[in-house]
Chain A
Amino acid sequence: METVVFGLFAALALVSALVVVTHKSPIYSTLALVLTLFSVAVLFVLLGAPFLGALQVLVYAGAIVVLFLFVIMLLNVQKEEMSHVGSSGQLWAALLAAVVFVGMLGLTFWRAGSPAVSPLTPESVSLKGLAAELFGTYLLPFEIVGLLLLVAVIGATVAARRPSELGPIREDEYVSGDEPRTDPLKSGPDPHRPSVAEPAYQSSQREAS
């Protein structure tokens, strides 16, 4: 039974990971990543870490992936052409990664074998023990991680903020590639605006060049 579940979700994780890496559209890549994260969450539960499995679904699939999707939709990212591995640097890096991977697999086969795994006991999966260790032995790292998250939130806000010299958002300004933003409250075309609007950055680029 456990073997069947493992095989099913391991295959699912591998296939969806391949989709993440190979799909051209960032949206589909991100959705495939959700599938990978769910499969890994199932494997966490199989390994006797149900708390981490729940955390994986909540934090990763629930928060981080939504952040990714939000940014993708916000930026209106176009499909990329797949890069051809042309430069020798990339080729060498890929070869190195392949060698390391084969080495890891070989070492795993050679060293690990299949030693007997002790059966799960109720106290080894209990949340209580985990919490006692987290708030006891690892209290300082826990606090530091909290500080890190605070710093990250402030840093992200500052980095993504609209530069103040640009001033407030004008009405004819919109994110590239989309249709011009129209005020739904106004009905009918505005006679004062040109009929074919052009993104602000394109005109500025044209002036520069």
Chain B
Amino acid sequence: MTAPPRPPAIHCAGLVKRYGDVTAVAGLDLTVPAGECFGLLGPNGAGKTTTIEILEGLTPGDAGVVQVLGHSWSGGSADRLLRERLGIQLQETKLPEKLSVEETIRLFASFYPRAQPLESVLALVELGEKRGAWYGKLSGGQKQRLAVACALVNRPELLFLDEPTTGLDPQSRRQLWDVIARFRADGNTVLLTTHYMEEAERLCDRVAIMDHGKVIALGTPRELIASLGAEHVVEFSLTAGAGEDGLEADLRGLPGVRAVRSADGTIALTASALHVTLPALTGLLERRGHALASLTTHHASLDDVFVAMTGRRIRDE
């Protein structure tokens, strides 16, 4: 292996964290090269937040190696130097209600020896017009952008974002994506957790899908979706009626179908060409005497990758 020009932004191997009987992180290996935007995906309870907090040096791991920007968390004074190079947004931080945007940014800037000027932070997160408004009076999207602003005051080399857009409306989400894109433009590294597949596909160079404290899939979003072998998903459900014996085998035999899964009364087909598969499907159901209760199709997403691997959905909505 040739020496990389920069050490990886994040490297961890064999990371384990237990809370009593519960193993939150069960032997995690991860390397994120500098300059990459890396996404940790998975359902609630998969261990994403525990992992990111260990990497941030907020929670000690029970076993394994963790290196951030080439340094390990020591618990000593060297940690402060490392913290000066990191930007951190936590999942559930509420900033002081009655401090204005400007006052909050100044407060966080005061902790760092090389903080950016207030104006450039405000411009980066587009909160210039709200500079005098109290945190408590901001919208959800503005609050989240202020939280990210506090993570960016020190011009970090590595930015941790833990579910940065959860609960935001689509427009606020896109505004935050723009902030992240601007930050990345300078060659910085981002590690984010999310359970929005669209967010991961849009922002991340690579993603790791986590389940039960382990990485179950790793690659670019495109690679992972391609691993399904087809790019369309057809989901349908049937009205109660004719028996379903042998239906799955029949479905597998349809032209263009790569996989069949059924859960909770919904059957999902992964298909390569809809114009071939759909007429064949309706013909088959008619012959067997089934009636459709619903039918939808969508492009295969990372969510489908997760379903294909675990049989469960990442987000139960």
Do A and B make up one complex? no
- Residues of chain A touching chain B, judged by Cβ–Cβ distance below 8 Å, are none
- Residues of chain B touching chain A, judged by Cβ–Cβ distance below 8 Å, are none
